[in-house]
Structure 1
Amino acid sequence: MKPLEKYNPAVIFLYFLLLASLAMFAANPVMIAISVLTMNAAAVAYSREGLARSYVFYAIIFVLTSLANPVFSHNGVTVLLVVNDNPITLEAVLYGVMTGFMILSVLLLFRVFSTLMTSDRLLYIFGRAFPKLGLLLAMTLRFVPLFGRQRRKIENTQRTLGLYKDENAIDTIKGKLSVLSAMTTWGLENGIVTADSMSARGYGIKRNRTSFSMFRFERSDLGLLLIVIASCTFIFFGIATDKLKTDFYPRMQLPPFSPYATVCYILYAGLAIFPLVAKVMENLRWKWIRSVKS
């Protein structure tokens, strides 16, 4: 098994797209639990930088999503309490929690995705057919970490000059707004410069243009592609035929553990854990090579 980033970018893109689609459309607690656990482990394995801050953001999104559903939806028969004549039901709470975990799994998945899918990989996928879309996606993924580094740089510079103070809440808000203003100006200018630079180099012109790529479609890519498509087709059929359906209203009812559902869970677990297994195998291979050479 070769490292995940060594596979063809189109195969990896399709893999993450189908995996995210399964997590969103299945609405199955077992599959969502598998996705959260495996993607969290993969996020730790692939990119630990800034993960603690991301966890804070993920926790806020999870809490808001979990609380929003029982506040606005009052379906269900198991009433936990009544607030202003509005019942808060157990089923609505459980559905909100499941939705929160589903969003959490997708966020973790896209964190791993952004680590693997660099700008050149996205341009390889979309550059020929959709050059503007490819450039937009590449710039977006590039600007997310770039914005974070630039924000810290501007904030540290303003602190050094004495322009940024956080002695009280008002000074903190003023400092944050000043950094935001500088970041907005810098981001717009940087985006325009990047787009003009790409246009000047002939990117996206209507005439036939040559292109070079170091990515090749190999047998291992074909094998992974066939496995992903076959497994996802099998699972999507189970979703379409309600073999994996979970009912929350009026009472929560989990899908029966039929042989078909069990196979779907095994296939989904195999797909979801693949990035982690590939990373672990890569680390073990590297340690073995170092031990042999030493």
Structure 2
Amino acid sequence: MNDAATNAPVLVTGGTGTLGGHVLPRLSAAGHTVRVLSRKTHRGVDGVEYVTGDLLRDEGIEPAVDGVHTLLHLAGGPKGDDRATASLMRAAARAGVRHVVYISVIGAGRVPIGYFEAKHGAERAVSESDVPWTTLRAAQFHDLVYTVVRKLAALPIVPDPRVIRFQPVDSRDVADRLVDLVQGVSSGLVPELAGPQVYPLAELIRSYLAARGGNRPFLPVPVPGAVGRAYRHGHNLTVDGVTVGTRTWEDYLAEKLR
């Protein structure tokens, strides 16, 4: 990235979330001017400017992208990512944004669940726009897996959908990779980023229970239909050509529970 591009703001959507909390200081430390698009009003701190807007409502996007060289699109939710991203990309193209970096999920287009399908639609909105683009698909973050595991471990009998496996990755590893991509050139779909190991869901729950000194009975449950087939074939996992994060689930769990 040349000096002019470095001086232009990097717009970050989703900058107030878990991943954004890791990305923003890394971008600032690398010398970038950072602008964050958020639905809520925030005071600017540590050289980070906040602007108010709503991607799903297509509100406040035009002023957010004004003067931006690079757009880092982290915002996401349980539904509507495809529509929100389409609105964002239309505004980015009109504003002359030179590079968009998008964080997607491993399994987009392969796992027949609404979240994965919306992410795949958002990928298309990025790739079909007139803005040069880079998309990184990442595995589920440790933070999300921990939330799922903690809730299931609290049940008196833990359901064990044996076909479901995860390859969780640390959100700090994802943040490091995204900042590298922001500082590079548009590269299309780059190698996926996953954690160092694949775990059955039950193994993740048992490791959490062991760390907390607890125990629960497990009950095998089926995952029928197309969703079950997708998980059985590991469509939410990646093996070939993957970039592997450095922090393991065990590292994260020890840090979380200390």
TM-score, normalised relative to structure 2: 0.25
Report which of the two has the higher share of helix. Answer: 1
Name the larger-Rg structure.
1
Higher relative CO (Cα under 8 Å, sequence separation at least 6) belongs to: 1
Report which of the two has the higher share of strand. Answer: 2
